[in-house]
């Protein structure tokens, strides 16, 4: 029990990191207006952050595998804080892009280190729940961090959000150094050895489910704030409320996804959740100027989208049980790559077609994820046949 509060401390740190990542969607219109750029250009800030996170994190974690985890987390938080300070202080879009890249490098190492420490300091038999608590902190940033950030941006300007995150990040560095015990690093798994898993068909298809599910979500979510203001007809006064209920629904959906997986299995949960996900994106595109109806759609969309999260994590862990840790690490990178791709595709859709098209594009991406789920059993049966031949 003595380490339980330390796990919650790690969850608070992951909340800060999550807020720094997700907040862009909540203030996208203000960033575009401030820099005099298009919504599509502002949306690429998410693409850049996610790409740097996805590519940089596994490389940096491999290089620092043997380092004491507490020391690494403090250093990573320092890099994360520096990125936020630069975001707050430097003028111009180009410098903001640079600051987001620094922030992403620090954020990736902070999250992986927090998960690693949580597993190692957890009481016996509580490792999984400790990891879930840290992940919950990241999810809470969507529920609380984004609407709070929007309100802060309305009152003090959008850059104040990053100044506030930097301040709390500095406090977190001090507390982590004092409260978290020294924690040994791990034996390094070479990147090529990690990537070798991708040669297995079932692994490739399994990770493609993450890519298209979360990529489809990202296409629409990246541009959610301007979409609600200009297409759905939500007033700016109600925007923070809309973002808050969206976040709460994501937490409920995540909880339900875990329950549903235990009760009805992976396939039913994933296909059912993604089918509802597609329906809500389509409904959002046709329902306008009805606040109650839009709010109801947002609740069901977020619920459906995030019900797939824990299920897909569990699904991947069972594909290659002996390499579950490496596979879940690859999935973290895939999640960020899908967010980057979704934001990029959404930006092209906004620029070349219309803002209203992002929901349809997002629905198409999720539909491809369903197709990948349906293809996976065939790949499994093929693998069994191969094994039977060799035996």
pLDDT of residue 189: 65
pLDDT of residue 384: 42
* CATH fold group of domain 1-188: Growth Hormone; Chain: A; (1.20.1250)
d(CA 227, CA 259): 32
pLDDT of residue 185: 66
For the chain, how many residues are written? Answer: 391
Sign of CA dihedral 59, 63, 66, 67: negative
pLDDT of residue 325: 62
pLDDT of residue 2: 65
pLDDT of residue 386: 31
How many angstroms separate the Cα of 334 from the Cα of each of 42, 99, 331?
Answer: 22, 23, 5
pLDDT of residue 387: 39
Provide the residue ranges of all domains of the chain, joining segments of one domain with +: 1-188, 189-386
165-175 core/surface letters (b: 16 or more CB in 10 A; e: else): bbebbeebbee
d(CA 212, CA 367): 8
Domain 189-386 class, CATH top level: mainly alpha
Residue 353 burial (CB count, 10 A): 12
pLDDT of residue 171: 95
The parts of the chain modelled with pLDDT lower than 50 are 379-391
How far is residue 151 CA from its own chain's centroid? 22
Tell me if 1-188 shares its fold with 189-386: yes
Place of tokens 């299995």: 265
Classify burial at 316, counting beta carbons within 10 Å of its beta carbon; exposed 0-12, middle 13-18, buried 19 or more: buried
Residues 6+ apart with CB under 8 A from 311: 257, 258, 260, 261, 266, 269, 270, 273
CB 122 within 8 Å of CB 181: no
């Amino acid at each position: 029990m003595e380490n339980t509060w330390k796990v919650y401390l790690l969850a608070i740190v992951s909340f800060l990191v999550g807020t720094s990542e997700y907040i862009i969607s909540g203030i996208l219109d203000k960033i575009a207006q401030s820099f005099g750029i298009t919504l599509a250009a502002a949306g690429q800030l998410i693409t850049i952050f996610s790409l740097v996170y996805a590519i940089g994190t596994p490389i940096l974690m491999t290089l620092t595998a043997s380092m004491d985890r507490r020391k690494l987390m403090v250093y990573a938080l320092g890099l994360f804080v520096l990125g936020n300070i630069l975001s707050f202080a430097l003028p111009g879009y180009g410098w903001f892009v640079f600051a987001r890249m620094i922030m992403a490098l620090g954020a990736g190492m902070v999250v992986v280190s927090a998960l690693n420490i949580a597993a190692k300091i957890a009481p016996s038999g509580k490792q999984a729940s400790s990891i879930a608590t840290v992940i919950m902190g990241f999810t809470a940033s969507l529920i609380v961090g984004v609407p709070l950030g929007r309100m802060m941006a309305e009152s003090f300007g959008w850059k104040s959000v990053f100044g506030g995150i930097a301040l709390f990040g500095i406090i977190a560095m001090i507390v982590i150094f004092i409260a978290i015990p020294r924690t040994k690093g791990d034996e390094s798994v070479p990147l090529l050895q990690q990537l070798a898993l991708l040669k297995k068909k079932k692994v490739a298809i399994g990770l493609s489910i993450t890519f298209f599910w979360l990529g489809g979500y990202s296409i629409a979510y990246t541009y959610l704030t301007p979409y609600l203001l200009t297409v759905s007809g939500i007033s700016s006064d109600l925007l923070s409320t809309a973002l808050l209920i969206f976040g709460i629904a994501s937490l409920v959906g995540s909880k339900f996804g875990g329950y549903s997986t235990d009760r009805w299995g992976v396939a039913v949960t994933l296909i059912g959740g993604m089918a509802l996900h597609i329906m809500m994106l389509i409904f959002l595109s046709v329902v306008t100027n009805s606040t109650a109806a839009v709010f109801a759609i947002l609740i069901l969309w977020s619920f459906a989208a995030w019900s797939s999260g824990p299920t897909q994590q569990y699904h991947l862990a069972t594909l290659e049980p002996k390499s579950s840790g490496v596979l879940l690490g690859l999935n973290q990178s895939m999640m960020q790559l899908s967010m980057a791709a979704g934001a990029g595709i959404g930006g092209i859709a906004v620029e070349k077609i219309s803002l209203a098209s992002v929901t349809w594009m997002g629905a198409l991406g999720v539909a491809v994820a369903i197709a990948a789920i349906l293809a996976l059993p065939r790949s499994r049966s093929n693998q069994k046949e191969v094994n039977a031949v060799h035996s």
